[in-house]
Amino acid sequence: MPTASSHYHQLQPEDRVTIASLKQQNHSNRAIARQLHRSPATISRELQRNDCSSGYGNAHAQSQSLQRRRCGRPAIKLHPDSILWALVVHLLRLRWSPEQIALTLARLYHSGHEYRVSHETIYNCIYAMPVGELRKELIATLRHAHNKRLPRSIPQLRNANEP
């Protein structure tokens, strides 16, 4: 049984083979969990999530798991080669703030979300860029140009320039 300090680890293909084998031998979820050193809830979720008409199959479960991982995260909106990124960079060079860009895009594309982006996403993309001229240029266009984003949790860092 996992302890309170244990960390989450995804089930591996070998774990799924063991689950299928033990389930076929009519072992309980708790017995399987003890053998794999996992929580019974993990085993229960795995069996419910990957159950099919013929019962639990490790090959089917593994393929379903890989499919869920591929589809789990949405695509990056501000990809460096996208039209949306080019538009954002153009507006930043015109001294628009990320907030203004986000609000304008929301007004223009209120029905579709593929051309909408939040101001936080814009800031994150700028500050996540590798060190280079474009990054320096875009940070300089921001009204509060810092090399790094300042944490909100430490107010004395944020107000260092105020009297």
Phi, psi of 144 (to 5 degrees): -120, 85
Check residue 8 and give its pLDDT. Answer: 72
- On the question of pLDDT at 4 being above 60, the answer is no
Check residue 96 and give its pLDDT. Answer: 94
Check residue 155 and give its pLDDT. Answer: 62
Q: Are 111 and 67 in contact (CB under 8 A)?
A: no
Give the C-alpha distances (Å, rounded to integers) separating 77 from 25, 88, 111, 124, 125.
Answer: 48, 11, 16, 12, 10
Domain ranges of the chain: 13-71, 83-150
- On the question of pLDDT at 154 being above 70, the answer is no
Check residue 77 and give its pLDDT. Answer: 81
Radius of gyration of the chain (CA): 24
Please, what is the average pLDDT of the chain? Answer: 84
Q: Give the model confidence (pLDDT) of 105-117 as tens digits.
A: 999 887 777 788 9
Q: Give the model confidence (pLDDT) of 23-36 as tens digits.
A: 999 999 999 999 99
- On the question of pLDDT at 39 being above 60, the answer is yes
What's the whole-model pTM score?
Answer: 0.51
d(CA 15, CA 63): 14
In the structure, what pLDDT confidence band is assigned to residue 127 with cuts at 50, 70 and 90?
confident
